[in-house]
Amino acid sequence: MEYPTLQKSWKRGMHSLAIVYPNLYYGGVYSLAPLIFYNIVNHLPQWSCERKFLDKCGGLGHFDLLGFTFQYELDYFNLFNILKENKIPFEKEKREAIIFAGGPCITSNPETLTRYVDFFVLGDAEEVIVEILQHYEHHPEKEAFLTSIAQLPGVYVPGKTKTIVPATADLNTSPYPIYQPLPETVDKSYVFGKSFLLEVERGCPFTCKFCTIPTIYPKLKYRKVELLIKAIQDGMKLDQREKVVMYAPSFVHPERKKLLQWLVDNNIPFSVPSLRLEYLDDDMLSLIRKGGQRSLTVAPEANERMRMLADKKITDTAFLEMIDRAAKHGFEQIKMYFIIGLPEQTIKDLDEMLDFIATAKKRFGRRVHASINPLVPKPRTKYEHLPFDKEKCKEHMLYLNKHMTTKMKISDLKNAALEWKLAFAKDLDFIPLLQRHQRVTQPEEFSL
């Protein structure tokens, strides 16, 4: 059983939508997109919506519309696993079921899945979903429906849409998904525990060359702090949660301190995402500690030279000063994200990166974790013209493995190569790939 749920009693003439998070439940319950659909669609009198997950997807039954939200290209394989398990033909011409897809990697490049997906929702789904459903009510026959929605902003019907325009929502007028069902028992495998998810902002004002956020969300949008507080109050009334988990790519909200202060004043623990240093002053660090967070996450990405080349213009000195401040405020752990395989990155850069990590560890005096990810160039970023350089990543990985003195995690290179291929593919024939990749679960990492 999950709580809290939006119960709908079935009435004649009602329509149904299933929204699938194509990976495991314990992580998928914290994905906002299915919650946005679940809340909006279940408030429409003529529609009911259920959330489904890779490990809770058998016996899908009949749905008028079946939607997939992709946060990660490797999850494309799970589309096929789910269709196969439910005996739904892969090719769209061979089935009656109408399947759509959305999510960040689809907005970056919807072309990969055009052979299998009937239509795509690009950009902010909450802006367009109601209109799509209204069109279905008037045109339940598949071809007529697809023709009728083809020119809606935010919809891409391959072969029918002339101009693709991602949908853009006003976060201050869109309803917030306050119904966030969680199982009765949330064990340690659930990364965010029994929490209420709070999307504070969408987009990012920075333009790091490797990052897709500024192109997927070209306009940075904030929710008003009053609306955020109301969402927390309403959500907590439905089901008491142990903490609030903030979603924001870089948490630059102009009233972030006001929001955190309100949470502190109301004794509501919270956690914040990875933060930009410019925004981590003493006040913020103090509030974050008071909110119960003991660990900080930052992303130096590389040594200073590479960081500057990637347009993340923060000096080592600024990072180290922040680390001093974090120690002073009593944080117990710092997680740092780094990238290998960057263009022009040399062994000398890796040495500087290792020196930086060693200095950070010494100055902090407590636990420092490094997470190392290979550069996977993505469409519509400033690195989109680059190939995925597996050999260089391997060389860098082996070098770090030999010389790193702190605990670190490095992402799997085979998966990264595949992710790159999927990110840029057009009208990909998945059948040969499915012989080798059967089922993909949460992004794999291994410790060195």
Q: Which residues, numbered 252-281, are part of the site for ligand SF4 (CB under 6 A)?
A: 276
Pairing of strands 155-156, 243-247: unpaired
- Helix ranges (H only) for 29-139 are 32-42, 76-85, 104-108, 129-138
Regarding 139 and contact with ligand SF4 (CB under 6 A), the answer is: no
Cα–Cα distance measured from residue 415 to residue 398, given in angstroms and rounded to the nearest whole number? 17
Residue 348: closest CA among 307, 312, 396:
396
Regarding 204 and contact with ligand SF4 (CB under 6 A), the answer is: yes
Tell me the sheet residues that pair with 195. Answer: 243
Instruction: Report the 10 Å Cβ neighbour count for 228.
Output: 25
Closer of 127 and 301 to ligand SF4 (Cβ):
301
Regarding 337 and contact with ligand SF4 (CB under 6 A), the answer is: no
Tell me the sheet residues that pair with 257. Answer: none
The amino acid present at 151, given as its one-letter code, is Q
Closer of 313 and 403 to ligand SF4 (Cβ):
313
Regarding 214 and contact with ligand SF4 (CB under 6 A), the answer is: yes
Closer of 221 and 276 to ligand SF4 (Cβ):
276
Regarding 302 and contact with ligand SF4 (CB under 6 A), the answer is: no
Regarding 249 and contact with ligand SF4 (CB under 6 A), the answer is: yes
Closer of 126 and 301 to ligand SF4 (Cβ):
301
Regarding 34 and contact with ligand SF4 (CB under 6 A), the answer is: no
Mapping DSSP to helix (H, G, I), strand (E, B) and coil, where does residue 108 land?
A: helix
Q: How far is the CB of 393 from ligand SF4 (least distance, A)?
A: 19
Q: Which two tokens stand for residue 212?
A: 């897709």
User: Would you state the torsion angle of the CA atoms of residues 54, 58, 63, 69, taken in this order, to the nearest 10 degrees?
Assistant: 0
Inter-CA distances, 260 with 176, 225, 320, Å? 19, 10, 24
Query: Which is it for the CA torsion 342, 348, 350, 354, positive or negative?
Result: negative
Regarding 209 and contact with ligand SF4 (CB under 6 A), the answer is: no
- Helix ranges (H only) for 301-372 are 304-309, 316-328, 347-364
Q: How far is the CB of 60 from ligand SF4 (least distance, A)?
A: 35
Question: Which strand (E) or helix (H) includes residue 53?
Answer: strand 47-53
Question: Which strand (E) or helix (H) includes residue 395?
Answer: helix 390-403
Q: Which stretch binds ligand SF4 (CB under 6 A): 87-95, 142-150, 211-219, 401-409?
A: 211-219
Q: How far is the CB of 338 from ligand SF4 (least distance, A)?
A: 12
Closer of 311 and 429 to ligand SF4 (Cβ):
311
Regarding 104 and contact with ligand SF4 (CB under 6 A), the answer is: no
In the list 23, 78, 107, 250, the residue contacting ligand SF4 (rule: CB under 6 A) is 250
Closer of 152 and 310 to ligand SF4 (Cβ):
310
Regarding 27 and contact with ligand SF4 (CB under 6 A), the answer is: no
In the list 18, 211, 264, 354, the residue contacting ligand SF4 (rule: CB under 6 A) is 211
- Contacts with ligand SF4 by CB under 6 A lie at 204, 206-208, 211, 213-214, 249-250, 276, 312
